[in-house]
Amino acid sequence: MRIGIFGASGSIGGRTLDVIDMNRDKFEIVFLSAHGSEEKLAAAAERFLPACIALTDDKYKESASERARFDGLIDRIKNRCVGYNPTVIYGSDYYRELFCGGGNPFGIELAVVAVTGIYGLMPSYLALKSGVSLALANKEALVAGGGLITREAEANGADIFPIDSEHSAVSECLNGNARDSVRRLILTASGGAFRGYSAERLKTARAEDALKHPTWRMGRKVTVDSATLMNKGLEIIEAMRLFDMPEHKIDVLIHPESIVHSMVEFCDNTTMAMMSVPDMRIPVSRALGRCLEAYNERFARKEKEERSGGARAAFPDIYGGGLPANPSNTLDSGYVGERAVNSRNFSDSERNVGRLPNPSSALNLTATGALTFFEPDTERFPCLRIARDAARADGIMPAVLNAANELAAADFLEGRIGFTDIAERIESVLDGTENYEPKSIYDILDAGAEAARLYGELDRKTR
């Protein structure tokens, strides 16, 4: 399977490279991008030899001297790797050359979107428009793009596989269960660096302290979102899009140990949880594995239909269990008990496809100790409440929420505003916005620009 990694030099991009490195017989990287990390991008290019690489900061498009420095790095790789001659793209509109007019010149079959913030929206949208499935680590694309993103996937036969640990866990727990059997989804949150801070102490909380996450190693912006609980608010909206679940059926629990990544409660009063060590290489491997499994299933189904003259097979493969593809396995095998039961608990595939080896560690429950859970405090951390309000309003409001949060988080990281100012700024921008239903991707971009204008006015008033 041919992979494109958007944001290869970041936290998720690096972990994706690690997983693919252990599964080179299954994946070929054909595209890598980074915003400005030249050395990291060049090192990844030499390691995997993609057909196309991109530096997405516009300074490379505008300055010959900036380009020359990176060109020199690539020339040295060419000298060491005889015959390697990649296409190099510069600038923030790089995605147009990848998915121009619905095309796909480099043959990307799965786009791993790991860029930060709203910059993931257009590559995600255009990839889906070209029929390319997504392994999505960028939650902002779904939060802001909403139905425009999911409808594009459905219209073009593409899939969206979540990389966020919470949504990956929900996918595991939902697999094989009927929609109407689900009572609620439960997303877990570490609580971030400030979960033990009093309301008074939060007023003087500093960016450098927010970045000291107790369990996860992540990018700067998402680590701040974890501290404000906005990350969990965005994940509620993302779960609504991914699983077609209403906001009131998605709950959040603080779970400091970050071992249980999410849970699903069913109508029979059972709860299924997914547990692992807090290592993003696990959900990355599951997203890649699910995509590979879906790809193989489609290929097998197509072969079956061709062999039967175009007619559908009588017993199609069912992902994750269900009826066996060949009923005689249970009816005529001579086994009435154990084999008949067990055959329904495993995939019909003859070999493992969807679960990939990765460099993480197995969970040792005896060493883990107690697992604790408690309700989030939306008085101290109002961003979660604000995000829920935007989710219920829907329309353009999630896009505005996302834009305002990106601006406020950036200001906090730069020391321009305090921690408690983040929620106040976001809520003020939302209060100043009239809701409407976006009709195109450009409505989403316009809403972000208008949110930035409102934020700027607020900023000038408070200086």
Confidence of residue 352 (pLDDT cuts 50, 70, 90): low
User: Is the domain of 86 the same as that of 196?
Assistant: no
The verdict on residue 450 lying in a domain is yes
User: Is the domain of 64 the same as that of 209?
Assistant: no
The verdict on residue 42 lying in a domain is yes
* H helical segments located in 49-138: 58-62, 64-80, 95-98, 121-129
List the 260-266 sheet strands across, edge first: 250-254, 182-189, 260-266, 271-275
Strands annotated E in 96-191: 110-113, 133-136, 160-162, 182-189
**Which CATH number does the domain housing residue 408 bear?**
1.10.1740.10
User: Is the domain of 242 the same as that of 269?
Assistant: yes
Q: Which of 114, 139, 163 is the last residue of a domain?
A: 163
User: Is the domain of 92 the same as that of 203?
Assistant: no
User: Is the domain of 108 the same as that of 233?
Assistant: no
Asked whether the beta carbons of 380 and 229 are under 8 A apart, the reply is no
- Encode pLDDT of 250-285 as tens digits: 999 999 999 999 999 999 999 999 999 999 999 999
Tokens describing residue 220:
């700067």
Mean pLDDT of the chain: 89
Confidence of residue 328 (pLDDT cuts 50, 70, 90): very low
Residue 387's pLDDT is what? 98
Residue 353's pLDDT is what? 61
User: Is the domain of 21 the same as that of 114?
Assistant: yes
pTM of the entire predicted model: 0.88
**Which CATH number does the domain housing residue 146 bear?**
3.40.50.720
Asked whether the beta carbons of 155 and 226 are under 8 A apart, the reply is no
Pairing state between β 182-189 and 160-162? unpaired
Residues with Cβ within 8 Å of 417's Cβ and at least 6 positions away in sequence, in order, are: 408, 411, 425
Tokens describing residue 186:
């439960």
Strands annotated E in 336-458: none
- Encode pLDDT of 369-391 as tens digits: 999 999 999 999 999 999 999 99
Q: What are phi and psi of 144, to 5 degrees?
A: -80, -45
What would the mean pLDDT of 166-193 be, rounded to a whole number?
94
Residues with Cβ within 8 Å of 10's Cβ and at least 6 positions away in sequence, in order, are: 34, 114, 115, 116, 219
User: Is the domain of 46 the same as that of 146?
Assistant: yes
Q: 408 exposed, middle or buried (CB, 10 Å; 0-12, 13-18, 19+)?
A: buried
Confidence of residue 333 (pLDDT cuts 50, 70, 90): very low
Which helix or strand (DSSP H or E) is residue 330 part of? helix 328-331
User: Is the domain of 150 the same as that of 219?
Assistant: no
How many angstroms separate the Cα of 340 from the Cα of each of 92, 324, 326, 335, 345?
56, 10, 12, 6, 10
Residue 351's pLDDT is what? 62
Q: Which of 142, 163, 184 is the last residue of a domain?
A: 163
User: Is the domain of 186 the same as that of 151?
Assistant: no
Asked whether the beta carbons of 228 and 423 are under 8 A apart, the reply is yes
Sign of CA pseudo-dihedral 285, 286, 291, 293 = positive
Asked whether the beta carbons of 112 and 128 are under 8 A apart, the reply is no
User: Is the domain of 121 the same as that of 188?
Assistant: no
Asked whether the beta carbons of 412 and 426 are under 8 A apart, the reply is no
d(CA 160, CA 243): 11
Residue 330's pLDDT is what? 35
User: Is the domain of 105 the same as that of 246?
Assistant: no
Number of domains in the chain: 2
d(CA 256, CA 192): 8
Q: Which of 163, 192, 215 is the last residue of a domain?
A: 163
Q: What are phi and psi of 92, to 5 degrees?
A: -75, -15
Least confident of 62-66, 106-110, 137-141, 302-306: 302-306
Domain that includes residue 146, residue range: 2-163
User: Is the domain of 43 the same as that of 97?
Assistant: yes
